[in-house]
Chain A
Amino acid sequence: MTSTLTNLPFVLSSSPTARREDKATQSMRDLAYFIGTFAVALLLGIGSAWYMIEYGSPLTTTKVGPWASWDSEGKPDADPYTRAHVARSGRLPLSSTVARYFVARTDSNGHALSSSCEYTIEGSPLNARWWSIAVYDEYGGLIDNPTSRYSFNSEELLRHSDGTFRINLASTARPENWLPSGTDGQTLILMLRIYSPRETDSLGIGLIPRERLPKIERKSCE
């Protein structure tokens, strides 16, 4: 009762009125402490829930370089974080036992993907029945472009003789596989969807070897 208030003048006096004031101050402070605690708890609780649902955590997602994938996406027995993520996303993903979705918001060096930069996406074929790399704006919308090209899939991609491929993600026309990124200087999201992966783990979840995921290199920026 004395340690923190002693430097306030009225606490030094010992008259009954001062003591009452002291008590009032104390209960006011308790109330303030309680409200403060509750506000901080609300912020922490909702903030951490939001972050873990929106971006995932090591509990729910696999991160490989710039790529992130929800391990139990679409599974009926998925954890609450994954289920909340799916409900919030507005998507209807296939169960991770049937398909895997990998999302990249940065290049392989961790810089946010932007249509003011040019990138190469290089990789080797994936062991799956069908796969596709598509580019979206930050809201998950397709990006308008003169060639109406929004993605490249395993059936249409031009490949080198050893099976590897390179996609040029750029705002203006490029040779080989040109994936237009728009001209608005916007943030980009890449999604790699892999239908019917041929390898699975012990839970039946599609398995994509880490080194098989494409590398995203930034070439130049405007």
Chain B
Amino acid sequence: MRVRIPGLYIVLGLVLAGIIHIIAVLTLPMLAPKNAHARLAALGPANNMMELPAAAPGRQVMPMMAPDVRYAFCRFDLANGPVRLKAAVPDDLWLIALYTPEGDNFYSVAGADMKRAEIDLVIAGADQTVEEAGADAPESSDEVVVVNSPVTEGVALIRAPLVGPSRSARAEQALKTTSCGPYAKAG
């Protein structure tokens, strides 16, 4: 009888280890206090476009940031309605990406895939409609991109990869002209 018990404990231990493993994997995203969303939230208010300082030794908002990409971000909060992001995209390399607080990149668009050099993006919650955009300004309705966000709060991040070391001033200048704020009917 006795001899069998350690075997039982081994099985019990493995089952327990499996359960603990699953719980750890599933709860870790929520228990990561220094995730990117938290790091960006510490920098400023929501619904506001901010440029990140160029990554340099000892000066990085996020680890492993690209030293040859310039970034601007807008932490969006849809609690009071949709949020509008506008940018004049100077080259094909730009990437605009939307993230949930856990870092899921649920939408992205590259400069090369845009029909126009200007992007007008409306981020709306699942229960928010922005159909008025077309009704109020029919001539511009096809220029507005409406993205349905699965989350009320998240991050929009614009990446401007540099085409050469001398181009950083130009990229930073272009990022300054981007905007983010509460969506108001086009009129």
Residues in A lying within 8 Å of B, measured CB to CB: 1-4, 33-34, 36-38, 40-42, 44-46, 48-50, 52-53, 74-76, 78, 80-81, 83-84, 86-95, 98-99, 129-130, 132, 134, 136, 139-144, 148, 150-151, 153, 155-156, 189, 191, 193, 195-196
Contact = CB atoms under 8 A, between A and B. Distances in A.
Contact of A86 (B1, B30, B93, B103): B103
B39 A90 contact: yes
Interface of B: 1-3, 5-6, 9, 12-14, 16-21, 23-26, 28-30, 32, 34-36, 39, 55-58, 60, 62-69, 92-93, 95, 97, 99-100, 102-106, 108, 110, 112, 150, 155, 157, 159, 161-165
A132 B164 CA distance: 11
Contact of B93 (A44, A130, A156): A130
Contact of B63 (A44, A75, A76, A91): A91
Contacts of B64: 89, 91, 134, 136, 140, 189, 191
Q: B interface, by DSSP: helix, strand, loop or mixed? A: mixed
Dominant SS among interface residues on chain A: mixed
A134 B36 contact: no
Given A45-B20, A48-B21, A132-B66, A195 B35 contact: no
Contact of B105 (A93, A150, A155): A93
Given A53-B25, A129-B110, A130-B161, A1 B1 contact: yes
Contacts, number: 194
A44 B180 CA distance: 46
Contact of A92 (B36, B58, B60, B161): B36
B24 to A, nearest CB: 4
Given A76-B106, A155-B162, A195-B161, A92 B99 contact: yes
Contacts of B103: 74, 83, 86-87, 91-93
